[in-house]
Structure 1
Amino acid sequence: MNPGATAAPPARVRAAVTGLGVVAPNGVGTREWWQATLRGVSALRPARDAPADRIPVAGEINGFVAEKHVPGQLLPQTARFTRLALAAAAEALQDAAVDPAALPRYGVGVFTSSSAGGYEFGQHEMSNLWRHGSDSVSAYQSFAWFYAACTGQVSIRHGLRGAGGTLVTEQCGGIDSVGQARRQLGSGGTVLLAGGADAGLCPLGWSGHLATGRVSPHSHPARAYLPFHAEASGYVPGEGAAYLVLEERAAAEARGAAVLGEIAGYAAAFDPPTGPGNLGQAARLALADAQLGPGDIDAVFADAYGVPALDEAEAHVITELFGPYGVPVAVPKTMTGRIGAGGSALDVAAALLSLRDNVLPPTAHVDHPRDGWHLDLVTTPRPVALRAVLVLARGHGGFNSAAVVVR
């Protein structure tokens, strides 16, 4: 190289998504969940084992039978969030037609996020401790509750020896895991699983939700979670898991894989202790990373907290970027509740399927957005030609993340 010459920038990684796996309140399995989502089927219902006067409604999964998805020897050592993750990860690998054993020894890895870990597992074992003594506590308590259990168990189950990690960024976690996996593709990874899982709907988990001061007190399932609506009163907690399989696009196409779309851009930004939030900054950085402008985006999947002040702030971000009524805004999580780390992974999955099918899912229960916020809220399934979609997420504590998904 001549003195003073500048090295060529590394080739841009095209992170293709070739597989999806979903376990959600309104559908176990990607196909069942997506069909229910397009029909506007809500799974919000009276919460089990919750203080009815403080958490009356939740998005719980009723149709998940762990024994159908998790080997018997793993059941005693896994919390519910890990069982959901194992089911979703297995579906994603199968959907992508990926056999880890046929790939390079260190070529397949997994990144997972969880907000709460195995709350119900830990609660059960602590109850045993106080009632019956230390001899009654399961040895699996040492790791089953831990946030990283999903990454570890998925790795062991499928023999994944590549790069891996665990992120704890609440509702942003699913997007952040996808962003980390995409980055790893540029560092030599062959196939990366990425997603999120949360299932903290138990007394210990309820206490965490109540500590936020943002849970909706409304007892009617159809009125409890109304983001961007004049009657918004907070969010509804949910549970679930979603995983994506990422590969470099050329490699995926070379092996004949069906490509659902690409993760073209990703960014995260943290809110300062005081002052305005940085969701808009995350969105702008993700667009820049994708080398796209606001005019290239055909829809937004909103974070949609359901808290009036936070909804107003997000509406301002969207209208500032795209103009009043400038882009359709979809909120499929109104059918599941906010699922923590699994929630934004589920939104990315919904964005990919929307791109595939050229249709945006409805925002259940919300007939129109609050006056003066200038949002084009999708309230019924909307056929629309889609090329690129922006997915937004905010996590309790100041996290902000954004991903750009393209055809």
Structure 2
Amino acid sequence: MTVRVGRLTSGMTPEDHRLAASTAMAPAGALATTGGCLPGGLDLAPVPGSALQATLSAGRLWVQGTNGAAQGGYSVTIDAPVSLTFGAGHATYSRIDSVVVRVADPSHDSTVTVFGGEVLVVQGSPAGTPTAPTVPPNSQKLYDVVVGKESVGLDWVTGVLDRRRYTAALGGIVPPGSGVAFSGSHNGQYRDNDGVLERWNGTVWEPILRLGTSGQLQLGDVRVYRDGGTAAATNAIVRAYRPANEDAISVRSAVGDTASRLLVKGDGAIQWGAGGSTPTDVQLSRTAPGALRVNGDLVVRTHKAHYGESGTAYFNFTGVRAHTMTITFGTPFPTAPRVYTNINSGHAAAEMWSSRAHSVTATGFQLYVYNPSGTWSWSNMPIYWSAFAS
């Protein structure tokens, strides 16, 4: 048949019905749909007192036909718990058995003779490194179960592997399930990857929620967007409503750090530290209207107009009329500053000496002391100097 129409009063084949029902399911091709479970149910549990028995709870799933392109998919409901028995273990090796739900449709599958559905334990082959068996046609795998060596039975802690894959209706978000190593069925499909909303772009799953252009997240007239590299930006104010004694903004050096380099508290106090695992050790806070307090040393080094740098130089020399010392600024000025000097001594002999600065540059100057009357000796004589931006 070339054109199949659903929901006609007569003349519909079983394939017509299945294909009509599948139009509401997530597609996996031109005529195929994405098989899988519906959330809730189909849980595998041990039978108390039995090493090789289990019970599968009730649930629902969609099984995509695998024998032909126009076979369609099957809606399956298991309306009561199903008891399962695993074969005894091998004398030497373990094996992997698979629990599957199979649809038997003789009109498409010549290996079956009766129409219906069943839950099967497909037995694997014992081996030093066992692998899961191939599932039969028209089936959906639910679990892989490791069957230990003879007399060991089933290991319900590490040997029961959940393989339930979930599906959704067309346009729905695929719920999280067994693994993430599967491709999307169509461009623009979404899935929940353990809490991360991902979008299939035709090649890979992108963990990006695109609600606006260029990857923007738009909330009314507020936008959050990528601003090049690893930078995020917004066109609005970012507010944090936090109690006064709790953290509001934290900046850390690397993932896994337990302490912040920069921390803003709910009361507006700003704290700094080395990061890593070292707690913050400096805080700037408001203590009263118009008043700020720092709990440690505050070092201000600025070269704006009317501000600058100062220091003390200690001279040591013997029997000379003049001596020169090179002074280097702790922070370079934008241009050569004004420099003033003073001999800090009340000794009578110091009255015959003078000091001055020369060869002043943005990075330092020459501090010069001299005595035109004769030679003299100095020991740790302090000379104060101050440099101010021009």
> Shared fold (TM-score greater than 0.5)?
no
Higher RCO (Cα < 8 Å, 6 or more apart)? 1
Q: Which has the larger share of strand?
A: 2
TM-score in terms of structure 1 length: 0.21
TM-score in terms of structure 2 length: 0.21
Tell me which structure has the larger Cα radius of gyration.
Answer: 2
